[in-house]
Structure 1
Amino acid sequence: MNQIPTAAILCLSLTFYGLTACHAQNDIPQEQQKQQSSSKIQQSYQLSTIAQFNESWAIASLKDGRLLITERKGKLQLFDPQTKQKVEVKGVPKVAYGGQGGLGDIALHPQFAQNRQVYISYAESGQGGYGAVVARGELDLSNPQQPQLKNLKTIWQQVPKVQGQGHYGHRLLFGSDGKLWISSGERQKFDPAQDMQSNLGKILRLNDDGTPASGNPFMSRGEIAKQVWTLGHRNPLGIAFDHKGQLWVAEMGPKGGDELNLITKGENYGYPVVSNGDHYDGKDIPDHNTRPEFKAPEISWTPVISPSSLIFYKGNQFPAWKNKALIGGLSSEAIVVVDTEMKPVKEVQHLNMKQRVRGLLEAPDGAIWVLEDGKNARLLKMTAK
């Protein structure tokens, strides 16, 4: 999904169930255009190019302002925005690079200052094919020129491994209670999203050691089901808490129907039974409003935005974005701003970035780090204009 021409070819060639990782574009209904225009904001901003990375995927910040940036081929970079120095962190395991697979997300343990623990997600090969895993290790920064990951241990894996290298999901997020949230894609296999013997197509809530967290809604339905908080997801690539502590997930729909979902304990979000998009082979998927037993998205997009990431802005540099969702867009080459407190939820600003956006991170000063996708991807700093 990293090169648009390749994605376009895939759209034509992959017809099994009509599902691919790419997106088609359809016309915006006239009524939707009217609603959008009545709720727009115009927050100004400016962009500065800070550095370049190779197929960057995720970004996390240390307390001293240095950044940890993953590159999909399997490199973890420690970058200092002040000096522009980039140092590779050693100790990253071999990753299964290809398709949408490789080194993925990175998250710091809530008590990182004390325990130095970091979490990484990545694709690996094994019996049955490929799957995402999450590993925990210690980030040793004692030698500034030779940072390394130590005592790395796998604490979670997608079950089962399957053929193909798409829809891993594998975003990581810690909640205020110290629980680890993982978004797990359905790996372009459809049915696992509804199968409680699989953790594909699910949002998972775990303890920091990877074991199922107490209070999860499906504790009586088997060992895999114990991990699950919600099910019926396709390819969830954005996961974030809003200022009220509510969890939201942005995920890719099929041909149309990208979603922003408010995550509610035990709910089923319907994929592949329902979607506001359709299969790529032209087969219809019933819309959410035909099956009220499934939880519908708070907002969906056709044409799609191809969401890659999600944050809720909590700073002061951009007052109009305060407490709003910012979604990175791949095929849309955009940052999409959404007001989740409006009823219904609405897109309120669409920033044309002219490049595929892979990751977003709010800096301590309220600026926003923007990570582009692909080769020679820029790290941008977005500041007030």
Structure 2
Amino acid sequence: MPRNKRVWLLLDSSTFGGIETHVLELAKGLIAFKQNVKVVFLTSHKPTPPLIAQLQSANIDTTILAVDYPQHSIWLRLNKAIDKAASQNQKPTVIHAHGYKANILLRLSRLFGATSAINIVSTFHAGETPIGKVRWYDAVDRVSAIASHKRICVSRAIQGKVPCSSVLVNNFVPQTEFLESTNQNVAFVGRLSPEKGPDTFLDIANRFPRNAFHVYGSGDMEQELKQHNSPNVTFHGHQKEMAPVWPDIDVLLITSKYEGLPMAALEAMSRGIPLISFKLGELPSMIDSGINGWIVDNNQEMYNALKHWFSLSPAEKAQVKLNAQQTIEQNYSTKVIIPQVLSIYGFTDTVTP
């Protein structure tokens, strides 16, 4: 594929969550398909966002507009960056935004003509309706979606909240080494906030006092949850990198109230770690209950599924784990999804990595 096609991935980031994981894998995947990629951050944060370090360790080009153009307002920085790139014959062919702030800013730039001849793409990641001032960002993001040339949603539920046409594209992860964990550890991975349901995870843990349960993440509910004093639950806090952690996890519980297609679920299954999840977003499309994991309707069913998992023989568990990994490889891997993204960009002459 011609290298003069340039993709900018635009976002604002201070922590490391689902959007950051998605952008990291998208950047790596596009480069694997011979694309020229730059990840552009709107603002500067202290300490340095974890995503920047991970991108730099992967030798992926990054820039921070607030650092490059400190004398300009946030509304003008992207325009200045595009003008400078054009003067150097490096104007992006596509700018692909992620998150409320990046999407809104990019569309404003288009309205003022700064992104002329650039394909504007927006991805919608959030399925829940946020609270506080973020609720207004969310509303403006969705109402203004029509100003993007293409819109991507990671679940049908999210598509239903975008008031104009969009394309469903699954989240994805690279193929990963199969993990043969025998630790019987049960894990929660995510933000400790009400919409993620960590209190439900603790309720399940309390019903299995002889088994080890582990919480990886931090958030507003952390101190409240720790006050439960559950002796079989270990809180590990925020994880900058999950790769060293996955080998210690045998099964992952998804207890959220809202999800699209969580990256933690894909990362787990890609390593052969099965899920027991509520019926959320695209997870029922990915999980065939009893084959590669379990989809449940309520807490009692989650308890029953986990009890069943504990009762399986090592050979039966190994088969479920293998099925989980194969599901990702065949339907949710970089090699499957990146060609779909390139088609949305209008890059029809795709290259196999």
Normalising TM by the smaller chain, what interval?
under 0.3
Provide the TM-score with structure 2 as the length reference.
0.27
Provide the TM-score with structure 1 as the length reference.
0.25
Structure ranking higher in strand proportion: 1
Structure ranking higher in helix proportion: 2
